[in-house]
Structure 1
């Protein structure tokens, strides 16, 4: 037996089974000892030892006789180095190992996008795009009316007057000051080596800020409030809103009280009149 090292790369689009082949050739021992170890961040742990699966693959892996390892429902957390170790006491070379580098790639899911619905001309605007499932971590691109926004707007005649910055790692698209031409339908695409996904397209409107109209509205509101206040003050001065307190109640007359006196007979009550002074 000999020591071998090779790399296995799997691309994952859905939950699948991955077989890590460890083939034994020209062996004399009738019952060789088979062990599998998982090496993650330099720390080894047993996957198959003394005839049973252990660790985080306990319910998702099995040994495909005589020595290959099958991982069910492989995910990106299974990306690691796996070492197959074979011990054959009756062979000239009693020990051999095979090192497999497993990389599980996951296609991005639909990213979450945030696009402002309406922004006034000259104001800043920020678009966000995020995706957490893809592996390796995807990069992001933004599109307006189905046309990709270049990383550098100055590199394209259609976008050279735009004032935005695009971070392909975080998915943030920032406009320093939007223009009328920046209005349109936007969507984001997340892409890695396993594939790509896009979010739903969203429209951003860019409108003119009517400063004169806003100032006029404020003036009208202030004028109305001043007129109402003046009217109330005049009404008070002329006595229209004065209140006169009049008492329409009379002192209650002294009521005649009734005293109840119990007699010797059980349950027999009589009353006598008396005056409350």
Structure 2
């Protein structure tokens, strides 16, 4: 046992001093950061080098492309004036939804055998509910279908929705004449009636802040006007008559009632010959006998 220990000790010393061990190491104590909007976000980055005492530190953000946040000892673009560095740890002041994304801390130590190390930190900026946009028509005809829309595009995490009628929460339970989708913010009626009229508003909420509601809007359910009723009835009657005529024509053709009579060969209608042309007119001269001839 002692002999094996004595043999392994030189190998361990050789491994610790081998060039493969001379490399920069980079890590983050908090690789996922969730922070409320308009507060400071701290993106931690710790590194260790074997030889290089002055490594190069860079921060990049990945989106549609890769953009620099901290490069050549200064902040770039929208981060200039609103961020600071403490060692390799990045702090962004007053974050907004645009700051959400994947950040990469890169440390380059040229004197180390493996001279590049990196750590990835994901930043998710939480946004409380905003006043949603509500689509409620001012009037609708009795018996027609209806869909009310509600949307809050800015809240993170995505908002859930609830509809109110005359300041009372609506529930699509039992035999309710409507259906609701709390994730999409839709309220659907298959066929509205007079009792469906009233003041409608929508409320958006998430786990970050207080719910927000749009201004209530009046929905009126009205009857079809008389001229509209007459027009619809006339159009329906015309369509019914047209279909009836088409059916009659089809039945007639199937039974052979609509076939044309065939002409028989050789049965030509008699036509009298044309009258003969009149004889040509002649001019005759009349002679008067004045003398008699005797033989």
The answer to whether the superposition gives a TM-score over 0.5 is yes
Question: In the alignment, what sits opposite 2:217?
Answer: 202
Given that 1:105 and 1:193 are in contact with CA atoms closer than 8 Å, whether structure 2 keeps it comes out as no
Deviation at 1:22, TM superposition (A): 1.4
2:93 aligns to what?
A: 72
- C-alpha separation between the residues in 1 aligned to 2:156 and 2:176? 35
How far the C-alpha of 1:136 sits from its partner, in A, is 4.3
**Structure 1 equivalent of residue 79 of structure 2:** 57
Distance 1:27 1:19 in 2: 26
Structure 2 SS opposite 1:31 = coil
Determine if contact 2:146/2:190 at 8 Å carries over to the other structure.
Answer: yes
Larger Rg: 2
CA contact (8 A) 2:27 2:118 kept: yes
Offset, 1:3: 4.1
The aligned length equals 203
Question: Where does residue 287 of structure 2 map in the other structure?
Answer: none
Q: TM-score, normalised by structure 2?
A: 0.56
2:55 aligned partner: 32
SS at match of 2:143: coil
Runs of 5+ consecutive residues of structure 1 not aligned to the other structure: 219-277
Aligned pair 1:48/2:75, yes or no? no
Q: CA deviation at 1:99?
A: 0.9
Question: Which residue does the alignment assign to 2:45?
Answer: 22
Cα distance change on mapping 1:9 and 1:129 into 2, 3 Å: same
Which residue of structure 2 aligns with residue 190 of structure 1?
204
- 3-state SS of 1:108 partner: coil
> Does the alignment pair 1:100 with 2:121?
yes
Looking at structure 2, the residues matched to 47 and 115 of structure 1 have their Cα atoms a distance apart, in angstroms, of: 44
Distance 1:202 1:91, change over 3 A: same
CA contact (8 A) 1:119 1:206 kept: yes
Structure 2 CA distance for partners of 1:173 and 1:69, relative to 1, 3 Å: same
* Aligned mates of 1:89, 1:100 — CA distance in 2: 24
- 1:10 corresponding residue in structure 2: 34
Look up the match of 1:242.
none
- Aligned counterparts of 1:21 and 1:91: Cα–Cα separation in 2: 23
Q: Alpha carbon RMSD of aligned pairs, Å?
A: 3.3
| Deviation for aligned residue 1:27 | 6.6
Does residue 165 of structure 2 align to residue 141 of structure 1?
no
Gaps of 5+ in 2: 1-23, 231-295
